[in-house]
Amino acid sequence: MHKIIIVLLALLVAPFLGNASSDPKVDSLQSVLNRANDSSRIEVLTKLCWECRNSQPNKSIEYGLEAIELAQKFKDYPNLVKVHSFVGVAYRITGNYSKSTDYYYLGLELAKKHNITEQEGFAYINIANLHIYQEYYNNAIENLNKALVIAKSVDNKLMLSYVHLNLGRAKLLLKNYDSAYIEFNTSLAIRSDINFTPGLAVCYKYIGDIYFEQGDYFLAIKNYNESQQIVNKESDKDLYANILVRKAELFLKTKEVDVAIKYAEMAHDIAQEIGAKLTIRDALKVITQVAKVKERYQQAAGNLESIISYNDTLFNQQLSEKLFFLEYQYEKQKKESEIEIKELKLVRARTISVALLVIIALLIVSVFIVLSSLRHRKEKNKQLQQQNDEISKQRFNIEQKNKNLEDAYGVIEGYIEKITDSIRYAERIQDAILPSLSIAKPFVSDIFCLYKPKDFVSGDFYWIVDRGNKLYVAVADCTGHGVPGAFMSIIGLDMLNQAINQLNILEPSQILDYLNNELPIKLHKDEEVMVLKDSMDIAICCFDKKTKIVSYSGALIPLTICRNNTIIEIKPSPISIGISKKIYQKSFEQKEFQLQPNDWVYLFTDGFTDQFGGEQGGKFLKKQFFQTLSQLSPTDGKLQKAELNRAFSQWKKDGEQVDDVLVLGLLV
């Protein structure tokens, strides 16, 4: 009887799916957009990006990207910050969490840079939202507490309602139901007070989730129906589909499989329409469970493959690594001014000895985990094939094998999380080893470093040492990237420190000769063999503070100077470190150059110029890179770094980064 009451209540209250009319607010904005000029289009495009996020997320992204371009052109920073947040929301709804992370953190950086405190608060809420999806609930709560302080300081009740809503989500997933109920009801009360009617629907939906988790299906369906009555099915299709999925899960729990499949299929169709991958996956889970109940085993097996594919798409985009990397960078910048140079040197010295052991252990663990993962994947595929061949005769065996598939997938998820944690820790170690740019401040007027590892840990590194009136600077590109490159970078840093600190080798060319002799010994290579797979491209400069003369010696990495928007390139020796003395018997050449005030000196590896992208899919190339440096040279280092990063991202677009990127610039 209890189940029948729940079903009748849901069917009486639930509105019909679909609505032939379009969203009048969106139609009105599109009409205004057609008549607007460039500068006035920014505000309209920003509003369209927000209004379309839950119903047409891909269209929302189009509007948002156009708004960003115009806002940058006209320096409309309030809308620029706001639309970064909106585009991030649209990408999150489509399941592209990696892109969403990029825009959320860009929005946070811009909000801080231009002192737009209100949008800084919303950025923390968005970042917390991503942490919740990745199940890092404590990190989410930390970001929400930052947003809570801002919401109270600027007296923004809408922001405050979002903070309490997401605190409720985090506590719900931590199974702290009483606390979650208080947070959701606080958000509901605020939204009622400010007449934010669309926001009430999501509050009722999450309150229903609490009752669902506690097994009170009557109160759960009551709140789901309340949410379904309020939600705008045209402008908020994402929430509407989520409500339908939750109702489908509820009726599956109460064994009302026909009602469950109805709601699940409705949710699946809406989610596919807007491209919401997470909701598609959740709807497929219910559809698969119903297929099992009705003994449609072949359909269930096929659906499991689709679910696994969606999981790979949603959670194989390195979002966790990106979130932790970006948060670590913010914390590092905040604390860097409080750390003395001597303490940094001490930390590096202690870390170098530990780093090799950690990376070796990481490599062994990674290989073991990957091999185990591949073995489980192969076993799973074999089981699926057997199920399809024998489904008509061995129904019981097929059900058991489907369960094995789910268990195997759980094991794979656990392995992936372990790999992620290990790589993230190795990345933090390598970052701690690199020297602080503040060492160069007594010698130069400005300095910046664009450092973009391809695979979290990098084969590119830079080195800075202060020796009285002279400053030594090096930029190097070791063979490979990722873990192999990181091994080489640690060896390179160690040899440079030995050359100048222990052996007192002070001429750049002599340092390169030392590295060329020492590297094969470090790698236990026959010194008569040309080391092709274990080499290092490097440039070393010595800046004299009194004479303003730079002494330079390079192995395949040039010294580039920009003077009055003109590029001067000083060529390196045409060999890498690690070359056989028998094949190439010359010493490295050393050159000197008289610097003038306002000269920009650049050292860079080939990762930027070798990146594929653009309209034709070709390389960026050195000519275009020099043109970019020439255009940026009148600006400060912080802006140059940001613009180089933007130019790299625009060139790469959605393509893969092919190599580590390192660009170091110093203003004399």
pLDDT (tens digit per residue) in 269-294: 998 998 888 899 898 888 988 888 88
**pLDDT, greater one: 187 or 25:** 187
- Residue 402 confidence (pLDDT): 65
Q: Residue 76 and residue 54: Cα distance in Å, rounded?
A: 25
Q: In what order do the strands lie in the sheet with 661-667?
A: 446-452, 661-667, 600-604, 559-563, 566-570
Q: What sign for the dihedral angle of Cα 408, 411, 416, 422?
A: negative
Query: Lowest mean pLDDT: which of 61-75, 372-386, 507-521?
Result: 372-386
Please compute Rg for the chain using Cα positions: 29
26 pLDDT more than 90: no
Residue 37 confidence class, pLDDT cut points 50, 70, 90 = confident
User: Residue 403 — very low, low, confident or very high, per pLDDT cuts 50/70/90?
Assistant: confident
Task: Please give the DSSP secondary-structure letter assigned to residue 413.
Answer: H
Mean predicted confidence (pLDDT) in 600-611 = 96
- Across 466-473, average pLDDT: 94
pLDDT at 342: 53
More reliable by pLDDT, 315 or 609: 609
The more confidently predicted of residues 238 and 8 is 238
DSSP E strands, 392-498:
446-452, 460-467, 470-478
Which residues fall within 8 angstroms of residue 624, CB to CB, at 6 or more apart? none
Given this model, what pLDDT does residue 345 score? 53
CB 79 within 8 A of CB 47: no
Q: How confident is the model at residue 7 (pLDDT cuts 50, 70, 90)?
A: very low
Q: Round to whole Å and give the CA distance between 458 and 461.
A: 7
Contacts (Cβ under 8 Å, ≥6 apart) of 614: 620, 651
Who has greater pLDDT, 520 or 558?
558
| pLDDT at 601 exceeding the cut of 60 | yes
Q: Give the pTM.
A: 0.47
Would you state the pLDDT for residue 337?
A: 42
Q: 163 near 140, Cβ under 8 Å?
A: no
Q: Over 90: is that where the pLDDT of 528 sits?
A: no
pLDDT band at residue 2 using 50, 70 and 90 as cut-offs:
very low
Give the model's confidence band at 373: pLDDT under 50 very low, under 70 low, under 90 confident, else very high.
Answer: low
Predicted local distance difference test score (pLDDT) of residue 582:
59
Query: Is a pLDDT exceeding 50 seen at residue 3?
Result: no
**pLDDT value of position 202:** 92
- For the CA atoms of 332, 338, 343, 349, the dihedral, rounded to the nearest 10 degrees, stands at 10
Q: Which pLDDT does position 53 carry in this prediction?
A: 86
CA angle, 201 then 250 then 219, to 5°? 60
Please give the residue that has the higher pLDDT: either 384 or 112: 112
Set out the domains of the chain in order of their start, with CATH numbers: 25-115 (1.25.40.10), 118-235 (1.25.40.10), 237-318 (1.25.40.10), 341-431 (no CATH), 434-667 (3.60.40.10)
One-letter-per-residue 3-state SS of 581-593: CCCCCCCCCCEEE
pLDDT at 220 over 60: yes
Helix (H) or strand (E) holding 138: helix 137-154
* 425 or 221, greater pLDDT: 221
- Contact by Cβ (8 Å): 473, 463: yes
- pLDDT for res 5: 45
> What per-residue confidence (pLDDT) applies to 635?
96
**Proportion of the chain above pLDDT 90, given as a percent:** 52
The CA-based diameter of the chain, rounded to the nearest angstrom, is 93
Of residues 408 and 638, the one with the higher pLDDT is: 638
- Region 489-512 average pLDDT: 94
Average confidence (pLDDT) over 509-526: 85
Average pLDDT of span 635-653? 96
